[in-house]
């Protein structure tokens, strides 16, 4: 009996040292039966095991160690933030840039594609139309038309147009026509507006100035009400021109011809 009494007292003292705040174990769990009588060894050992489990649970609980948990959280979160920040930086893609003639960085322009957009005869669009390819207008557009390819108009356009090549086929156009290539105005076409191109063939009616860096051909069925400015001009028999023709882009120095 004295052995178990001394053992429980020593174990109770050890438990009080482990529990934070100096909490004492419940008195009912550490009381020793001092009455004369036989001691149930298995029962006493069971009580000791239960007491040990209670101590272990208190020590492992985050509330029992408040200083440990926040420190671990602070140590993990900065690493997590840094990881995602690095991944975000690595995955960030910038738009390609090119350098202009002044050495300044500019956004790369879209390359012209081979696609061909068709505005059918029964379609009417109110608003500007843009395409990186070619556009064929059989219907009607009320707005500006811009494309990187060829612009073919067989319907109506009420607005300015800009393209790499222009062809009017029995079209009705009210607006300025600008192209970096050849401008062709077919028979039956009517254009009210200026035309700017590198070369031109006029077989329809144009009311406006024609400014062409290259040659201009005014066909038999053409009617032009406006000035023609070009490198050279060919006027076929039957064409009607009401305006001035100037070959100011030619290589001939006109003033030197009349120098005396």
Residue ranges covered by each domain of the chain:
2-64, 116-257
Express each pLDDT in 28-86 by its tens digit: 454 545 444 555 556 655 665 665 566 555 545 554 444 445 444 444 444 444 444 45
Neighbour count for residue 8 (Cβ, 10 Å): 19
Per-residue pLDDT reduced to its tens digit, 222-256:
999 999 999 999 999 999 999 999 999 998 888 88
The yes-or-no verdict on residue 140 having pLDDT over 60 is yes
CA distances from 130 to 42, 127, 172, 250 (A): 92, 10, 19, 34
Is the pLDDT at 9 greater than 90? The verdict is no
Q: Over range 182-208, report the average pLDDT.
A: 97
Under the banding of pLDDT at 50, 70 and 90, the label for residue 188 is very high
Under 8 Å between Cβ of 246 and 228: yes
Query: Quick one: pLDDT at residue 90?
Result: 46
């Amino acid at each position: 009996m004295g052995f178990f009494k001394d053992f429980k007292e020593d174990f109770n003292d050890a438990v009080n040292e482990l529990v934070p705040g100096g909490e004492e174990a419940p008195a009912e769990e550490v009381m020793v039966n001092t009455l004369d009588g036989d001691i149930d060894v298995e029962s006493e050992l069971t009580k000791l095991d239960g007491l040990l489990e209670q101590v272990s649970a208190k020590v492992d609980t985050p509330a029992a160690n408040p200083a440990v948990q926040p420190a671990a959280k602070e140590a993990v979160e900065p690493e997590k933030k840094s990881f995602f920040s690095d991944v975000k930086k690595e995955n960030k893609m910038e738009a390609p840039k090119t350098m202009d003639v002044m050495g300044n960085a500019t956004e790369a322009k879209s390359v012209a594609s081979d696609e061909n957009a068709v505005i059918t005869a029964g379609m009417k669009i109110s608003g500007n139309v843009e395409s990186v390819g070619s556009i064929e207008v059989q219907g009607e557009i009320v707005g500006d038309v811009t494309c990187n390819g060829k612009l073919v108009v067989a319907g109506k356009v009420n607005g300015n147009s800009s393209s790499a090549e222009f062809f009017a086929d029995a079209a009705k156009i009210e607006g300025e026509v600008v192209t970096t290539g050849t401008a062709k105005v077919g028979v039956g076409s009517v254009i009210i507006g200026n035309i700017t191109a590198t070369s031109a063939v006029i077989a329809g009616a144009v009311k406006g100035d024609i400014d062409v860096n290259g040659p201009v051909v005014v066909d038999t069925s053409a009617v032009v009400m406006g000035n023609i400015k070009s490198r050279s001009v060919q006027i076929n028999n039957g064409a009607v021109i009401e305006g001035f023709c100037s070959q100011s882009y030619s290589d001939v120095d006109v003033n030197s011809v009349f120098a005396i």
